[in-house]
Amino acid sequence: MSLPQGYSAAAEAHASALPFSPMIPVSSLPYVAVTLLLASFFGTFFFTTLPKRNALVSEILVAVFSSVCAGFGIVALFNAVGVYV
């Protein structure tokens, strides 16, 4: 059984490709995770203590900031402990 021609081209491209190197060093991921999660918790605290007025724009901005920090913080935390997602 012979291999398709596309496989040999893909194997050759794979062999000549550069190895992956992350933009953020793996050794700094715990610090990034803690910073982002603390920012998320601070944003959540700030969001829950905002005065109850019609400041919909500021509420949405704080909520989006906290959500983004929490999302990236969780991913950084998972990667810091070796669960590469």
Alpha helix positions (H), the chain = 5-16, 29-48, 56-80
Average pLDDT, the chain: 86
How far apart (Å, rounded) are the C-alpha atoms in residues 42 and 48? 10
Give residue 1's pLDDT: 47
Q: pTM for this structure?
A: 0.73
Give residue 81's pLDDT: 92
